[in-house]
């Protein structure tokens, strides 16, 4: 018998915790590994870039990176917990990038299903965002974002105004990603792991699109085929399973000698 959908037992199930403290330890370890992963990809640039993860007990607070710690040097003890409505640091040492955090806090508020939000300044994501259009279904991997990402085309400078952050969250809606025109990419997911995979794949698809369009006129997938493939590879289970492999091999950057 053939099927168009992946078998549910094909993937290791997502970890479920009865103890919030145990879940928090897992999240902080995974979040540190996410920063190591993105550091290895070269996605750590200056003070730009942020990942936020909802605390398992305090739903309006989020674990994130202090603005002055390089991604490759992150560890659970260096992460901070910030208050969604204000951005104030509630736990840990350091301050958050308030402009980036404003966007994330409003996305989290609009999307209670979302555990993690990721926005990093990548070469391919920024280049593609300047085109002012959605990704087209060029390859199998692109279909994970077919009809599941959106364009926010109002660039007005650095986002300190929460009203603009609210508009970004409203534009994103229920989707897994948004292209911020002339700015870059944002991915969201119901688990940190899946958000890591979607951001990684989002940027890769931007890279492939730029290469394909520079080489000629790409052939697009049929829309019905793209929708079918999206149901096969665009699920949370696929994102979660794919990222577990990435995070398992992530390593911190060597620290410079004192």
9 part of a folded domain: no
256 part of a folded domain: no
pLDDT of residue 5: 58
Q: Coil, strand or helix: which one is 4?
A: coil
pLDDT of residue 1: 34
Mean pLDDT score of the chain, rounded to an integer?
Answer: 93
167 part of a folded domain: yes
pLDDT of residue 13: 78
186 part of a folded domain: yes
Confidence of residue 148 (pLDDT cuts 50, 70, 90): very high
CB-based contact 137:230 (threshold 8 Å): no
Interhelix angle 236-248/20-40, rounded to 10 degrees, is 70
What are the tens digits of pLDDT across the range 27-59?
A: 999 999 999 999 999 999 999 999 999 999 999
10 or 116: which carries more pLDDT confidence? 116
Backbone region of residue 173 per phi and psi (left: phi > 0; alpha: psi in -120 to 50; beta: other values): left
pLDDT of residue 257: 43
Tally of domains within the chain: 1
2 part of a folded domain: no
Report the distance separating Cα 232 and Cα 235, nearest Å. 7
170 part of a folded domain: yes
What are the tens digits of pLDDT across the range 163-208?
A: 889 999 999 999 999 999 999 999 999 999 999 999 999 999 999 9
- CATH number for 35: 3.40.225.10
Confidence of residue 2 (pLDDT cuts 50, 70, 90): very low
What are the tens digits of pLDDT across the range 71-93?
A: 999 999 999 999 999 999 999 99
What are the tens digits of pLDDT across the range 228-245?
A: 999 999 999 999 999 999
233 part of a folded domain: yes
pLDDT of residue 253: 87
Does residue 7 carry a pLDDT above 60? Answer: no
- Range(s) of the domain holding residue 45: 17-248
The token pair at 128 is 């593609």
255 part of a folded domain: no
Confidence of residue 12 (pLDDT cuts 50, 70, 90): confident
Does residue 9 carry a pLDDT above 70? Answer: no
pLDDT of residue 6: 56
Residue range 99-112: mean pLDDT, rounded: 95
Does residue 95 carry a pLDDT above 90? Answer: yes
Question: In sequence order, what are the beta bridge partners of 186?
Answer: 119, 178
């Amino acid at each position: 018998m053939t099927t168009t959908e992946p078998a549910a037992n094909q993937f290791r199930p997502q970890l479920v915790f009865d103890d919030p403290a145990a879940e928090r330890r897992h999240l902080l370890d995974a979040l540190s590994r996410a920063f190591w992963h993105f550091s290895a990809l070269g996605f750590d640039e200056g003070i730009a870039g942020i990942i936020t993860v909802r605390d398992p007990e305090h739903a309006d607070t989020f674990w994130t990176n202090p603005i002055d710690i390089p991604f490759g040097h992150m560890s659970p003890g260096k992460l901070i917990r910030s208050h969604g409505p204000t951005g104030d640091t509630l736990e840990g040492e350091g301050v958050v990038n308030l402009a980036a955090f404003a966007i994330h806090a409003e996305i989290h508020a609009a999307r209670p299903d979302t555990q993690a939000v990721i926005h990093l300044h990548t070469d391919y994501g920024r280049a593609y965002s300047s085109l002012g259009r959605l990704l087209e279904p060029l390859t199998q991997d692109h279909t994970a974002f077919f009809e599941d990402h959106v364009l926010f085309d109002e660039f007005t400078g650095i986002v300190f105004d929460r009203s603009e952050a609210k508009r970004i969250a409203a534009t994103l809606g229920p989707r897994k990603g948004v292209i911020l025109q002339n700015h870059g990419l944002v991915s969201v997911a119901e688990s940190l792991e899946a958000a890591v995979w979607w951001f990684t794949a989002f940027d890769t698809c931007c890279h492939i699109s730029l290469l394909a369009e520079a080489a000629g006129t790409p052939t697009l997938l049929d829309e019905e085929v793209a929708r079918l493939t999206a149901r096969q590879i665009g699920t949370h289970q696929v994102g979660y399973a794919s990222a577990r492999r990435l995070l398992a091999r992530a390593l911190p950057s060597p620290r410079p000698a004192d």
